[in-house]
Amino acid sequence: MIQNLEYYKVFYYVGKLNSITSAAKELSISQPAVSQSIHQLEKTLDCALFQRTSRGMRFTSEGELLYRYVERGYEQIELGEQRLRQIQHLDAGEVRIGASDMTLRFFLLPYLEKFHELYPGIKVTVTNGPTPETLQYLNEDRIDFGVISTPFEEKEGYSYFPVSTIEDTFVAGRRFIQYKNRMLDFSDLQKIPLILLEGNSSTRNYIDTFLSDHGVDIQPEFELSTSDMIVQFALRNLGVGCVVKDFAEEYLESGVLFELRFNSVIPKRKICVITDESRPLSIAASRLIELIKN
């Protein structure tokens, strides 16, 4: 292959414009420089590429064959440069995000709305899943960053920062009204039918660990895949649900559900944005994270 790709650039413009003079003007170089580049290319390829005519430069059959390939390649390079400029100016691109139902609904959505207003040409893909799954996607380079909740397993090379706090609570309906004004011990939960998330979530892991640290081992009556469904089960008095408070806020304010009170507080958790420092972020992903930080 020709080492000096500049020869092909000159060849492309001479062929496109059918003129050494016009090619020199387009490339902002001298006509002798254009002629020399064509001469060197012909010498290297050991064939004539052009014929001089009264109407300008005309391809030989070999030159016409070569031009068909060079034209496609050069136009692809130009398209690539154009696409890159669009990405650099945030007119195009893609952001891949991993987030749980909770972090998406109660934190991320307003930022996605704002980002889409500012940069409508950028495609945003959200992969929905619990925190452990989001971390796996980050490790596999299937997402640019994750929006997750603590606790999570920290890994070397991960970088994260907190963006919000969340509060876990136990909520109940009228069937459990006897607990409404009582100060309970966490051990009382062992006597109550509980509705919890399935095991593969940071929320469930956190509650299990917290209660275990208080000497309480729980066996839930129901294990569900979403917090929204836990609230629906609690509304139908099928048990006491454990959810992030935001999910039940509407029903707590209306009095349809109430919070159980305990003699010690469940510590609040954090929502964090996490990235893998071993992989550089795209311009679009970096801009969205800036928006979240500010």
Inform me whether the pLDDT recorded for 275 exceeds 70.
Answer: yes
Q: Which tens digits make up the pLDDT trace of 66-84?
A: 999 999 998 898 888 888 8
Tell me whether residue 1 is in a domain.
no
Task: Please check whether residues 140 and 54 belong to one and the same domain.
Answer: no
Closest CA to 106 of 153, 148, 151, 169: 148
Long-range contacts of 277-284 (CB under 8 A, 24+ apart): 277/157, 277/158, 277/159, 278/157, 279/141, 281/144, 281/145, 282/87, 282/93, 282/94, 282/95, 282/144, 283/87, 283/88, 283/90, 283/93, 284/87, 284/90, 284/93, 284/94, 284/95, 284/119, 284/122
Inform me whether the pLDDT recorded for 5 exceeds 90.
Answer: no
In which region does residue 136 sit, left (phi positive, over 0), alpha (psi from -120 to 50) or beta (all else)? alpha
Task: Show which of 37, 55, 88 is a domain's final residue.
Answer: 88
Task: Show which of 31, 54, 88 is a domain's final residue.
Answer: 88
Q: How many CB atoms lie within 10 A of CB 227?
A: 24
Q: Which tens digits make up the pLDDT trace of 131-178?
A: 889 999 999 999 999 999 988 888 888 999 999 999 999 999 999 999
Question: Where residue 287 sits, what CATH number does that domain have?
Answer: 3.40.190.10
Inform me whether the pLDDT recorded for 8 exceeds 70.
Answer: yes
d(CA 148, CA 108) in angstroms, rounded, equals: 10
d(CA 294, CA 284) in angstroms, rounded, equals: 16
Domain span holding position 26: 6-88
pLDDT value at position 2?
A: 57
Tell me whether residue 183 is in a domain.
yes
pLDDT value at position 75?
A: 87
In the chain, the percentage of residues whose pLDDT exceeds 70 is 99
Task: Please check whether residues 178 and 259 belong to one and the same domain.
Answer: yes
Higher pLDDT: 85 or 190? It is 190
Q: Is the pTM of this model over 0.75?
A: no
pLDDT value at position 292?
A: 96
